[in-house]
C-alpha cells in the first residue's frame, strides 16, 4: 500500500518533468528551424559594391522569411549611412583600404596591417561562434582579406553550417584571377570547404570560374542565380526629382574612388558642346577625393544644366527617374540599369581589373547597353556624340532583360531548401514557381 501511494505521488511529477524535457527539446529544435540565422561577410577594401550587394541580399531574405535574422560583417566606413530592414544588423570590424600600389593599410587605426587583420579575424570568428549561423555567405574573397575568414570557415565546417561563396557574374580576366587565387591559396577552400558557390548573374552572361582549372565537383556545386533586382526604397515617396522634373541623364561612377576620368570626360563634353544635351545629374560617390569633389563642384557651378550630388545611400529613385544612365559598368549599377530599364552607356575601367570591361562588352553583345571604351578618353567630340545619342539607345527590356533578374528569388528559394522549408506554402510566399531549372547546379 505504501508503494502504491508513493507511485501516486511520484509518477505525476516524473511525467511532468518528462513532458517539460520533451517540450524543451522540441521547442529548441523548432526555434532552430523557425528562427534561422544567416551571417554574411562583406569584402570591404574598396568601393561600395560589396556592401550594397550584401545588403540587397540581406534585405530580401528577411522580407521572405519572417523569423530570420541576418548579420553582416563589414569594415566599410559608411555602412551606418544605409538603412536596414528589421532583423538585419551589422558588425563593424576595423576598416582596411587598398592603396593604388595594391598594398593594404588600416583605414583609421595606427596599427600595422597584420595587427589589424588579426583583430578583424578574431571579431569575425567570435561573432560566428556566438551567432551560430545556419548559413554563412562569404562575398567575393574565398578566404577573406589575407585569409582572415579561414579560421571561421574551418570552425563552422565542423558545426554543419552551410558554407556559401558568393561571386559576381564577372570577377576578372581568367588568367589574372587564376594567378591571384593560386597566390592566395584559395583553391582548397572552393574544393573542400564551401558547400555551394552562388554566382550572382545568369550563365549566358559569364561564368567567372571558366578557365580556372576547377574539376567537375566544383562546377556541380555552382548555382547561377541571375542578377539581383533592385526596387524603390520606402523613402522614395519623399523623393524630389532634379531639374524640376525635366528629363535628365544620371552619371554615376559608383563609389567614386576610381571614377574621376569618367566624370571629367562628361564634364568636358558639357563644357564644349555645341548642341543641346539632356541635363546631367552627377553623383560623385563617397570615396572620391575631396580635391576632385571640389574641382567638379566648381566646374558644375558654371553650367546651368549640370548638378552635382556628393553621395546618396539610396540612388534608386534617381535611377528610376532618369532618362538614361552613364556608368562604369560595376555590378550594382548594372543591376539597377536592368531593374529600372534604363538606356545605358557604360564606360568601364580596365585597371586594376577588367571586370567592368568584360561585363560591358557582354552587355553590348546581348543588347542590354552600349559601351564606350575608356581608351578614347579624353576625346570630347566622341563623348558629345555619345551623349547626343543617348535618346536612341534601346532600353534593356528590348533584349528581354527581365529574364536575367531572378537572382533574389532564386537565393530565397535555395535558402528555403537548405533550411528544409521548401514546401508549397513557402513557394507561394516567395512568389517563385517550383521550376527545377531555377535551382539546378550548372557548370
Grid cell for residue 140: 567575393
The Cα-based distances of 149 to 119, 141, 155, 193, 287 in angstroms read 12, 9, 10, 12, 25
pLDDT at 422: 64
| Cβ atoms of residues 378 and 272 within 8 Å | no
Grid cell for residue 407: 537572382
Q: For residues 357-382, give the mean pLDDT.
A: 96
Least confident of 28-32, 104-108, 355-359, 389-393: 28-32
User: At residue 393, what are phi and psi to the nearest 5 degrees?
Assistant: -80, 130
Sign, CA torsion 394/400/402/406: negative
pTM here? 0.89
Residue located via cell numbers 563589414: 74
**pLDDT tens-digit map of 210-269:** 999 999 999 999 999 999 999 998 887 889 999 999 999 999 999 988 999 999 999 999
Strand partners, 135: 38, 162
Q: pLDDT category, 397, cuts 50, 70, 90? A: very high
Question: What is the C-alpha separation between 411 and 380, in angstroms, rounded?
Answer: 43
* Residue 140 or residue 428, greater confidence: 140
pLDDT at 43: 83
Beta-carbon neighbour count of residue 140 at 10 Å?
18
| Cβ atoms of residues 371 and 364 within 8 Å | yes
| Cβ atoms of residues 432 and 424 within 8 Å | no
> Over the chain, what is the mean pLDDT?
89
**pLDDT tens-digit map of 180-207:** 999 999 999 999 999 999 999 999 999 9
First-to-last CA distance in the chain? 75
pLDDT at 140: 96
pLDDT at 430: 57
The Cα-based distances of 223 to 137, 162, 247, 330 in angstroms read 14, 14, 39, 21
**Could you tell me whether strands 96-98 and 88-92 are parallel, antiparallel, or unpaired per DSSP bridges?**
unpaired
Element (H, E) at 166: strand 162-168
The Cα-based distances of 298 to 140, 211, 357 in angstroms read 37, 47, 30
pLDDT at 103: 80
Question: What is the C-alpha separation between 404 and 104, in angstroms, rounded?
Answer: 35
DSSP, residue by residue, 9-48: HHHHHHHHHHHHHHHHHHHHHHHHHHS-EEEEE---SSSS
Is 282 in a helix, a strand, or coil?
A: strand
CA angle at 116 for the pair 114 and 118, rounded to the nearest 5°: 70
Structural domains of the chain, ranges and CATH numbers in brackets: 33-229+406-439 (3.40.50.2000), 235-401 (3.40.50.2000)
Amino acid at each position: 500500500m505504501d508503494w502504491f501511494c508513493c507511485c501516486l505521488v511520484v509518477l505525476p511529477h516524473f511525467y511532468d518533468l518528462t513532458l517539460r524535457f520533451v517540450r524543451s527539446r522540441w521547442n529548441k529544435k523548432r526555434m532552430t528551424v523557425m528562427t534561422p540565422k544567416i551571417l554574411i561577410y562583406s569584402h570591404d577594401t574598396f568601393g561600395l559594391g560589396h556592401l550594397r550587394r550584401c545588403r540587397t541580399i540581406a534585405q530580401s531574405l528577411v522580407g521572405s522569411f519572417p523569423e530570420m535574422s541576418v548579420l553582416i560583417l563589414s569594415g566599410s566606413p559608411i555602412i551606418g549611412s544605409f538603412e536596414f530592414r528589421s532583423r538585419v544588423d551589422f558588425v563593424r570590424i576595423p576598416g582596411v583600404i587598398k592603396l593604388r600600389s595594391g598594398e593594404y593599410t588600416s583605414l583609421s587605426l595606427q596599427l600595422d596591417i597584420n595587427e589589424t587583420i588579426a583583430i578583424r579575424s578574431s571579431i569575425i570568428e567570435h561573432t560566428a561562434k556566438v551567432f551560430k549561423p545556419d548559413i554563412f555567405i562569404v562575398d567575393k574573397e574565398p578566404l577573406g582579406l589575407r585569409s582572415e575568414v579561414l579560421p571561421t570557415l574551418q570552425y563552422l565546417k565542423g558545426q554543419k553550417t552551410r558554407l556559401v561563396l558568393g561571386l559576381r557574374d564577372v570577377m576578372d580576366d581568367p588568367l589574372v584571377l587564376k594567378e591571384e587565387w593560386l597566390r592566395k591559396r584559395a583553391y582548397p577552400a572552393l574544393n573542400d570547404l564551401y558547400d555551394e558557390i552562388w554566382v550572382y548573374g545568369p550563365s549566358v552572361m559569364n561564368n567567372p570560374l571558366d578557365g580556372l582549372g576547377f574539376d567537375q565537383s566544383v562546377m556541380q556545386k555552382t548555382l547561377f542565380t541571375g542578377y539581383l533586382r533592385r526596387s524603390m526604397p520606402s523613402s522614395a515617396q519623399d523623393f524630389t526629382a532634379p531639374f524640376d522634373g525635366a528629363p535628365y541623364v544620371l552619371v554615376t561612377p559608383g563609389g567614386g574612388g576610381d571614377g574621376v576620368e569618367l566624370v571629367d570626360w562628361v564634364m568636358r563634353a558639357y563644357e564644349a558642346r555645341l548642341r543641346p544635351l539632356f541635363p546631367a545629374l552627377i553623383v560623385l560617390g563617397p570615396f572620391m577625393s575631396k580635391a576632385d569633389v571640389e574641382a567638379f563642384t566648381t566646374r558644375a557651378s558654371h553650367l546651368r544644366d549640370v548638378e552635382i550630388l556628393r553621395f546618396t545611400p539610396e540612388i534608386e529613385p534617381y535611377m528610376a527617374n532618369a532618362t538614361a544612365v552613364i556608368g562604369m559598368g560595376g555590378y550594382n549599377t548594372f543591376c539597377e540599369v536592368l531593374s529600372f530599364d534604363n538606356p545605358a552607356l557604360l564606360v568601364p575601367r580596365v585597371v586594376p581589373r577588367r571586370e567592368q570591361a568584360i561585363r560591358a562588352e557582354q552587355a553590348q553583345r546581348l543588347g542590354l547597353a552600349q559601351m564606350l571604351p575608356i581608351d578614347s578618353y579624353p576625346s570630347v567630340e566622341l563623348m558629345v556624340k555619345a551623349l547626343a545619342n543617348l535618346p536612341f539607345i534601346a532600353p534593356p527590356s528590348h533584349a528581354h532583360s527581365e529574364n536575367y533578374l531572378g537572382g533574389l528569388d532564386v537565393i530565397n528559394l535555395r535558402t528555403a531548401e537548405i533550411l528544409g522549408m521548401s514546401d508549397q506554402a513557402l513557394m507561394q510566399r516567395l512568389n517563385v514557381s517550383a521550376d527545377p531549372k531555377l535551382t539546378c547546379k550548372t557548370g
